[in-house]
Chains A and B, each alone.
Chain A
């Protein structure tokens, strides 16, 4: 059984069909990419999986995941707003461990995301975008999750920093044996990170296949458009 199995999931906000009948499974240990334009429902899908919002209909089954708040985590897109400006880095990373009453290992986590231990005493505004994103990753890893959703984790960063963060994410995945759901609008990034790719448009998954299938032989015109546009940059 896959780690996460989604069946005919729908989430409507009034008349807006943000997620409109998505069926998808995430296998343990893989990196599944979800690509699509802004407003295609990718982030809503992520929040549904994390049970941050309730679906209108449909189901999500988790295999071996009993406590979503502990075993599933998320890294957000915007490092400017994903950290509370009034909380020091060390406290921000320690918070999940404090809440779930597990041993504090801030030092270890900072080391894992390659930040100096002294950063624990700093405030978010003293850090660069890339550094803040590392803090976001450390916080997400604090509870030893099995499954990590990366919601456009590099799209707000400079290109050189993007590469560093992507490498770090790959390395962490290999070290900890994590499963990733990687959301992006840029197929270059998705191609670098993912094993399988789902293409989303207007709340639906219009194409799903291995990286090779999607990148070399896309069936949908929209996917071809995405591929072309990603190489122009």
Chain B
């Protein structure tokens, strides 16, 4: 039973490492990430671990600061989506009936839009900045959580301890937040972990297309955008942020799958 999931352990360790690096980035970054410090497109060397980019900025410093942005955007976006999804799902599953139908049809409508186009459409109307990126990703990715939480509420509300809570006179909010939600948290945690991987990918895609985090602020996505013209002349410019995105997303998937197994979540 207590078999340690190596993949999840690896994912958690790598993720933890990235998070720590992101937090202490200003302390350990050798250069100002936005400052031109050297000649353009220098290959990785001892003085510039990841080389320099097309403007002569230090890529190691940019990657560290980019981790701050990418991880923060992913985390906040997922937080927004989990909060909205949980609220809608809880109300839908707990009260049922007309309210449930309305909310679930709204979820269907939201899901019917191809999300990346929806995000692009909204983003192109807004000023692209980091806060809008978080909000837009969060506001367009809560539907899965809503369905999941609704399902959990439908199951748990029929259990006898919920009926017992009603019999002793618990109010609806008390039943929802004290008796049902804590017992629905495992699948939410799993969904949030996997959702963060998705949010980081979306942020990268948006920034890559120029609708996300704006230069000169570094995110892994817009570092990739900068690298487009130098794929062959300076491959480290694309490989490094690409690898960082890959490793982060992979780690999150490993951790998510590990949690799913550990917390015994179905589906």
Chain A residues packing against B (C-beta within 8 Å): 47, 50, 52, 69-70, 73-74, 76-78, 81-87, 95-96, 99-100, 136, 139, 142-143
Contacts and interface: CB of A to CB of B under 8 A. Distances in A.
A69 B168 contact: yes
B152 to A, nearest CB: 14
Given A76-B160, A95-B165, 13 more contacts: A52-B167, A69-B168, A74-B167, A82-B161, A82-B164, A83-B161, A84-B161, A84-B182, A86-B182, A99-B169, A99-B170, A100-B169, A142-B168
Contacts of B262: none
B27 interface: no
Contacts of A78: 160
Contacts of A82: 160-161, 164
A34 B159 CA distance: 23
Interface of B: 159-161, 163-170, 174, 178-179, 182-183
Nearest to A149: B167
A76 B183 contact: no
A86 B185 CA distance: 11
A70 B183 contact: no
Given A81-B159, A81-B160, A50 B167 contact: yes
Nearest to B179: A84
A77 B169 contact: no
Nearest to B185: A86
A76 B165 CA distance: 12
A81 to B, nearest CB: 5
5 contacts: A73-B167, A74-B164, A139-B164, A139-B168, A142-B168
A91 to B, nearest CB: 10
Contact of A95 (B159, B168, B182, B183): B168
A85 B164 CA distance: 13
Contacts of B182: 84, 86
A77 B160 contact: yes
B49 to A, nearest CB: 47
B168 A96 contact: yes
B36 to A, nearest CB: 55
A81 B161 contact: yes
Contacts of B170: 95, 99
